[in-house]
């Protein structure tokens, strides 16, 4: 099973790339975190944010496997504790299939894409920059995995 992070945004600063890699590389081979970067659409005065999000959504859809669970990261989503994430991870592994975690660009994720997601998840009440969300998500997935394995990384 793979955890796909499908994230709008590329050419991230080195500190984002390093932060992400730091946690992604700690995952075991049977539960890899795979990053798929989506090139952001050009912003211009003749394009509305809705148009840009629709075009980015088409790119995100094209990057998704045929069958996968979709979790859309959104600040208006459900609040999960790390323990809840760890429980969910156990369930996802039991049920099998890939899980895609979607991170939007500067304007967010297209409403239709959020509608078709299995759930919306928020990681804070604050609006975070998309680069930071991928780092935070990688750390939380690693922490959640460490909980399922009683690994000492997570202290209660
Ligand atoms: C700069 S934010 C976009 C903000 C946009 N105005 C909106 O309303 O969604 C870029 C992306 O980062 C993710 N993101 C930012 N803050 C988040 C949070 N607190 N919880 C979950 N995802 C977040 C979302 O996927 C969002 O689409």
**Which pLDDT score, from 0 to 100, does residue 152 have?**
87
Residue 82: pLDDT above 90? Answer: yes
- CATH T-level assignment (fold) for domain 2-148: Alpha/beta knot (3.40.1280)
Q: Using alpha carbons, select from 58, 50, 24 the residue that is nearest to residue 136.
A: 24
Q: Which helix (H) or strand (E) holds 105?
A: none
Reported ipTM: the value is 0.98
- Ligand 1 atom nearest 121 alpha carbon: 21
In angstroms, what is the span from residue 147 Cα to ligand 1's centroid?
A: 26
Domain residues of the chain, as ranges?
2-148
Q: Whose CA is nearest to atom 18 of ligand 1?
A: 75
**Which pLDDT score, from 0 to 100, does residue 123 have?**
96
Question: How does pLDDT run across 10-27, given as a tens digit for each residue?
Answer: 899 999 999 999 999 999
Query: 101, 24 in Cβ contact below 8 A?
Result: no
Mean pLDDT of 20-36: 97
Residue 146: pLDDT above 90? Answer: yes
Mean pLDDT of 127-153: 96
């Amino acid at each position: 099973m793979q955890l796909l992070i499908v994230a709008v945004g590329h050419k991230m600063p080195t500190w984002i790339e390093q932060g992400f890699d730091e946690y992604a590389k700690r995952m075991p081979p049977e539960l890899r975190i795979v990053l798929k970067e989506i090139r952001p659409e050009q912003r211009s005065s003749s394009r509305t944010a809705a148009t840009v999000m629709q075009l980015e959504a088409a790119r995100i859809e094209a990057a998704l496997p045929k069958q996968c669970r979709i979790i859309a990261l959104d600040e208006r989503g459900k609040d999960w504790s790390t323990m809840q994430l760890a429980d969910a991870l156990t369930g996802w592994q039991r049920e099998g299939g890939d899980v895609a975690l979607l991170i939007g660009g500067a304007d967010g994720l297209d409403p239709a894409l959020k509608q078709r997601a299995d759930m919306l998840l928020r990681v804070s009440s604050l609006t975070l920059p998309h680069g930071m969300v991928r780092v935070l998500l990688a750390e939380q997935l690693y922490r959640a995995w460490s909980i399922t394995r009683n690994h000492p990384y997570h202290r209660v």
